[in-house]
């Protein structure tokens, strides 16, 4: 199992808290009927931290015009919107909400050249709220494929305090490679051209690299 390199410090912090807590419970609670069940809680958190920050192996769906999901989660928004930052016009928005049990590593949705990156500090509203897209801490990234641009935002949620993005304008990236990670609850907003053929529906559960979000048209 591969652990996301940018999460080592978070995992270490969890272990530094949970390991002594486990020792105290086992050492100072004289009743095994209490100490054993209680000590399983921090031990489980230590194990879950490794599982949560793993980098899954994925088989990326091929096709230059095929847009795959940036993240694992549930589709919570499909709508026509005005995007003022990069698109500067109307487009289709598809949002994927990641809960606490989803893998939070993110992957490039298409192959192409990174044309835009900007980090936005902000608030930590619940990630599924509509205003979170504008008000929450987030990173904005655009990548230009042979079929057009795909613009997306990595949004922090209530418990997320750090977004990692590997986007460098001018660099070439391959679909299915890691593009970053968002720690804990969060959301991905994808913005696609109006003539894009959307392949998902509200409520669908999607997997990064393996679920087709849309097909671009020239």
85 DSSP assignment:
T
Angle at 71 between CA 161 and CA 120, to 5 degrees: 40
Please list the active-site residues: 186
Which tokens is 204 given?
Answer: 């669908």
Residue environment code for 50-75, b if the CB has 16+ CB neighbours within 10 A, otherwise e = eebbbbeebebbeeebbbbbbbbbbb
Q: Residue holding tokens 């919570």?
A: 76
């Amino acid at each position: 199992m591969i652990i996301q390199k940018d999460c080592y410090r978070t995992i270490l912090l969890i272990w530094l808290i949970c390991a002594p807590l486990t020792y105290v419970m086992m050492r100072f609670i004289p009743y095994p009927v209490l100490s054993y069940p209680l000590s399983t809680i921090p031990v489980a958190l230590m194990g879950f931290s490794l599982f949560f920050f793993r980098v899954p192996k994925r088989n990326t769906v091929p096709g230059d015009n095929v847009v795959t999901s940036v993240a694992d989660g549930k589709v919570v928004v499909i709508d026509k919107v005005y995007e003022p930052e990069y698109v500067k016009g109307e487009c289709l928005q598809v949002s994927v909400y990641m809960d606490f049990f989803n893998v939070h590593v993110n992957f490039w949705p298409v192959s192409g050249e990174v044309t835009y990156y900007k980090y936005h500090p902000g608030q930590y509203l619940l990630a599924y709220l509509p205003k979170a897209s504008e008000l929450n801490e987030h990173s904005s990234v655009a990548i230009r494929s042979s079929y057009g641009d795909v613009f997306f935002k990595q949004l922090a949620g209530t418990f997320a305090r750090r977004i990692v993005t590997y986007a460098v304008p001018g660099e070439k990236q391959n679909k299915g490679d890691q593009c970053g990670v968002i720690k804990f609850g969060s959301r991905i907003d994808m913005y696609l051209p109006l003539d894009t053929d959307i392949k998902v529906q509200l409520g669908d559960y999607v997997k990064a690299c393996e679920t087709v979000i849309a097909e671009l048209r020239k």
